Structure 1
Amino acid sequence: MSTDLEALFGAFNATVGRPAMGDAEFGETFRQMMAALVRFDYVVVFAYRGKERPIDLYSTFDTEEHVVFVTLYQAGPYLLDPFYHTARERREGVLRMRELAPDRFFSSEYYRTYYVQTGLAEEIGFFINADKDITIVLSLMRREKTGAFPPADFATLKKAEPLIANMVRHYWAGLAPRFDAQLAAGGKKHRKTGGNPNLAPADTVWRDLNLTSRETAIVDLVLQGHSSESIGLKLNISTGTVKVHRRNVYRKLGISSQTQLLSIYFKNLLPAG
């Protein structure tokens, strides 16, 4: 599509001289700027810090879509998301989901069970490191019927990245207190139930199921969509050793497939009801 300069300058002009903007206001400004450059169907912005539950800053979903893309995602599936792991690695730039996904991601049970519900053809994210260890990811999404982003659109987004990064660092600065408040609220909940607030949700799941630290690392990578060969390279162990650990995990859990493994993961991870 051709650039809508009038819309672009109008959106940018809304920020001139503004020392601060709320989440929705700046999120809408970002959406308008991007809409003047490329075609997309959805926008969602998450802030990530470590293994903590991501904070949703802005999105364009309707009520039903919000449940899948935000509510359910925050409840635990984010831990298997390639965007989440890229944010934890503190990578920056404009990146495509298909470039970040593990080698078996699109045939993984996570993809078939959760990600396929999104109905997306492609997702592109602006990865911007903000305060301390916080990374903000602004995602542009296209549905299957819309198709993937053309190469020219991707090139345009990369050119816009320096400006967007500077604006994000200015208008979404100071997010640490919001994470701290969320962590404190989670700590109170864990203390009431006798849990350990210092453990991430996935760590709690596998600890409670008596898996070793090595088995836990391998299971996490399996569920993210890594093959045994890819896991071996990441953990610096042989493919054969990975397969032995996977068999031991299945034996311990009394299962025989990745489908059952993911079912156990979600059953223990997601809240009841």
Structure 2
Amino acid sequence: MRTDFDHLFEAAAAFVGVAALADDEAGKAFVNLMKSLFPFDYCVIFAYRGAERPIDLFSTFDAREYEIFVRMYQDGPYLLDPFFSAASLPKPGVWRMRALAPDRFFASEYYRSYYVKTGLSEEVGFFVPAGESVTVVLSLMRGEALGVFRDAEYGLMRKAEPFVAAMVRHVWGRLGPRFDRAVTGRRHGAASEGASARARISQRLTARETSIIELVLQGHSSESIGLRLGVATGTVKVHRRNIYRKLGISSQAQLMSLYLGRLKVPE
């Protein structure tokens, strides 16, 4: 692994003395900066505020990839993403997906029905609280050909994190109004099928049961859910049986389909 200092300084210079950068300009400069350190296949930058639909600030995807990684993700699967959970805490720093994932993540319905479609070998994110309750996550991704990031490459990311955080706060430090405009626009438009389905599910379940189905779909085992909610594992299992009975389903696959609006929620 050899650092390309020419590209490193060229990319860093894009941020020096510039009062404002467009999303695309900042995203490309970030990609150039990181590619001077190590190779990767994709980059996507999302902004998160609470449980609101994340804003896609930049990505390197083609049209087909954008549909999977962004459009499909924004319609509901983001709520089950370990990166979303970490952004909501917030949990600043540089994090590997596998370090944030629940104990049953790779056997979860979210992983099987959505994440596996990405074909990723690994995803690592810079998590930067940007003010106004917004966290910006800059994700670097590798497919099977490049494989996972090596420890030395991950170490370089951690060294670069203070610079990346300063860049994010400079470029994307005032995203609150963009979220407000997006919320206003959705109020005047039709809700997505997934959002409507989740609202109907919440009406049929208690707040505790709603929390449990999200944890189940995220990939938490009953034991992990019990620890998070401070209840016995047996109590979690009773809740899960009650949830399936109320929703008229018998599998996690059906639960995921209901959650994303692919099955009709029973009246």
Q: Is the pair's TM-score, using the shorter chain for normalization, greater than 0.5?
A: yes
Give the alignment partner of residue 215 of structure 1, picking from 206, 209, 212.
Answer: 209
1:199-238 residue pairs with structure 2 within 5 A? 204-208=199-203, 210-238=204-232
Matches of 2:197 and 2:83, distance apart in 1: 17
Give the alignment partner of residue 249 of structure 1, picking from 223, 243, 248.
Answer: 243
| Between 11-20 and 21-30, the greater mean CA deviation after superposition | 11-20
- The alpha carbon displacement at 1:14 in A equals 2.1
- The alpha carbon displacement at 1:138 in A equals 0.2
Look up the SS of the partner of 2:33 in the other structure.
helix
Is residue 205–residue 269 contact of structure 1 (8 Å, CA) maintained in 2? no
Q: C-alpha offsets along residues 85-142 of structure 1, whole Å, 9 cap, x if unaligned?
A: 1000011000000000000011101100000000001000000001220000000000
Is residue 76–residue 201 contact of structure 1 (8 Å, CA) maintained in 2? no
Please state if 1:18 is matched with 2:18. Answer: yes
1:125-204 residue pairs with structure 2 within 5 A? 125-189=125-189, 204=199
Identity of counterpart residues, as a percentage?
Answer: 57
TM-score, normalization by structure 2: 0.94
Partner of 1:94: 94
Matches of 1:48 and 1:64, distance apart in 2: 23
Q: C-alpha offsets along residues 193-216 of structure 1, whole Å, 9 cap, x if unaligned?
A: 8x9xxxx767514224x1111111
Matches of 2:212 and 2:17, distance apart in 1: 50
Unmatched tracts of structure 1, length 5 or more: none
Q: Aligned pair in 2 of structure 1 residues 202, 86: CA closer, same or farther (>3 Å)?
A: farther
Is residue 105–residue 111 contact of structure 1 (8 Å, CA) maintained in 2? yes
Matches of 1:215 and 1:107, distance apart in 2: 21
Is residue 93–residue 161 contact of structure 1 (8 Å, CA) maintained in 2? yes
Unmatched tracts of structure 2, length 5 or more: none
Please state if 1:6 is matched with 2:6. Answer: yes
Q: What is the RMSD computed on CA atoms of the aligned residues? A: 1.7
- The alpha carbon displacement at 1:145 in A equals 2.1
Give 1:69's aligned amino acid. F
Q: C-alpha offsets along residues 211-242 of structure 1, whole Å, 9 cap, x if unaligned?
A: 11111111110011000000000000000000
Give 1:155's aligned amino acid. G
Q: Aligned pair in 2 of structure 1 residues 207, 39: CA closer, same or farther (>3 Å)?
A: same
Q: Aligned pair in 2 of structure 1 residues 202, 175: CA closer, same or farther (>3 Å)?
A: farther
Partner of 1:61: 61
Look up the SS of the partner of 2:189 in the other structure.
helix
